[in-house]
Structure formats: structure tokens, C-alpha cells
Chains A and B, each alone.
Chain A
Amino acid sequence: GAVVSQHPSRVICKSGTSVKIECRSLDFQATTMFWYRQFPKQSLMLMATSNEGSKATYEQGVEKDKFLINHASLTLSTLTVTSAHPEDSSFYICSAERTGGYEQFFGPGTRLTVL
């Protein structure tokens, strides 16, 4: 149990386009989901905390209008990178916290490449 999926696993897009990444908890409900960004050979940087039915909480330095987060249900959160640029190329990882729990379950990540 406690499986988290991400879709797509890889995406290549042109500069200026928007890309949506989905994060789903497959067999549990997640009131809270987290979005991380990971640069090559570096640690995870928390971008935002997504709470079902409310606005996401962004970490300092993360542009809200650039990285749109929607947590529409207890099993789905989406991250939309708007007007993507090459510097947005990265590995994006989501995690989900089971409702009432404290442990995070991580998705497999999405590799975004912006040309």
C-alpha cells in the first residue's frame, strides 16, 4: 500500500509553453501533498505544500504564478509550470502524506526538459 504515482515521467517542451505534472495517491487519501525540485547531484528543495481544498503554501523564493499548484481532491495534486524556460528544467518529485499520518510517500519523479 501507500503508492504514489506521477505523470508524465518525462516531458520535453519548448520554451514558453506550460507543462502540467500530476501526482496521485493510488491507494490512500492524502490531505497534504508536497512538491520538490531536485537539481542534478543535489538534495530535494521543497517548493510548496499542497492542501486539499485550499491554496498551496509556497516556500520562500518560489514564484506562485510560475508554479501553479492545485489540490482538487484527496488523491490528486497538480503542478503546472507556466511559460517554461530552460532554467526550469529539473527533476520534480511529489510526496503525499496519508490523512492522519506523518510519513511521506514519494512519487517516482518527473524529468522536465525545456528546450
Chain B
Amino acid sequence: GNSVTQMEGPVTLSEEAFLTINCTYTATGYPSLFWYVQYPGEGLQLLLKATKADDKGSNKGFEATYRKETTSFHLEKGSVQVSDSAVYFCALSDPPGTNAGKSTFGDGTTLTVKP
């Protein structure tokens, strides 16, 4: 079955530091890949997505590239801010038209950014 493995946290960085959160996956076929962010006490918000190999998703300074050869979708940001402190989830779903779009989530990585 599908699985997602995320870098274990927590991750603590100083403001303006470079961020990388690793994510690798196991899936058959060509899944769609997502990064979600969850702020304390809230639901999940889609941060970015990629639906095919070599696609780069980007939003709010965050980026992730769909690497099929390494089955990875690492999240990066060049300069983090205190407001980026949250839990980040990597997820995949089966391609459109298959399996009702069920998503598989990683365990989440807690990021704390200190001023």
C-alpha cells in the first residue's frame, strides 16, 4: 500500500534560516503529492502540491519538487519567519480517477522558528 515517511521533528530554527523537511513516499503508479500546514488548534491548509514528475509546487516562499527517481517531495524555504511555526504534513493521493482520492499522510514535522 501507499506510505509517506517524513523527517522526524521537532525542528527548531532561527528566523531567516534555511528550511528543509524531507519527505519520501512509496506508491504504485503516479500519485499526486501535497504539503499541508497545521497551525495550533486549527485544521489543515494546503500549502502546495504537485501532480506529476518534475513538477515544482510553490507557495508563500515554500517549494517542493516531485522527484520520481528518488520518490521524494522535500519541502524547502530559503528564509523562515516566526509565523511559519506550525506542523507540516506531507501527503499523497492516488491519481485523479482512481481510488476515490484517499490520502495518505506522513506523521507530521513540528517547526518552531525563534526570533
Contact = CB atoms under 8 A, between A and B. Distances in A.
Chain A interface residue bracket vs B:
20 to 34
Interface stretch (B11-19, B60-68, B92-100): B92-100
A101 B41 CA distance: 28
B3 to A, nearest CB: 12
A32 B44 CA distance: 18
B107 A43 contact: yes
Contact of B101 (A32, A41, A93): A32
A67 interface: no
Name A's interface SS.
strand
- Which of B45, B105, B106 gathers the greatest number of chain A CB atoms within 10 Å? B105
A107 B44 CA distance: 7
Interface residues of B, number: 25
Nearest to B51: A102
A108 B49 contact: no
Contact of B105 (A44, A97, A103): A44
A90 to B, nearest CB: 13
A51 to B, nearest CB: 8
B22 interface: no
A47 to B, nearest CB: 12
A107 B46 CA distance: 11
A111 B89 CA distance: 19
Interface of B: 32, 34, 36, 41-46, 49, 89, 93-97, 100-103, 105-108, 110
Closest 10 CB pairs between A and B? A102-B96, A108-B43, A109-B43, A106-B44, A43-B107, A106-B43, A102-B101, A97-B101, A43-B105, A44-B105
Interface of A: 6, 32, 34, 41-44, 46, 49, 51, 93, 95, 97, 101-109, 111
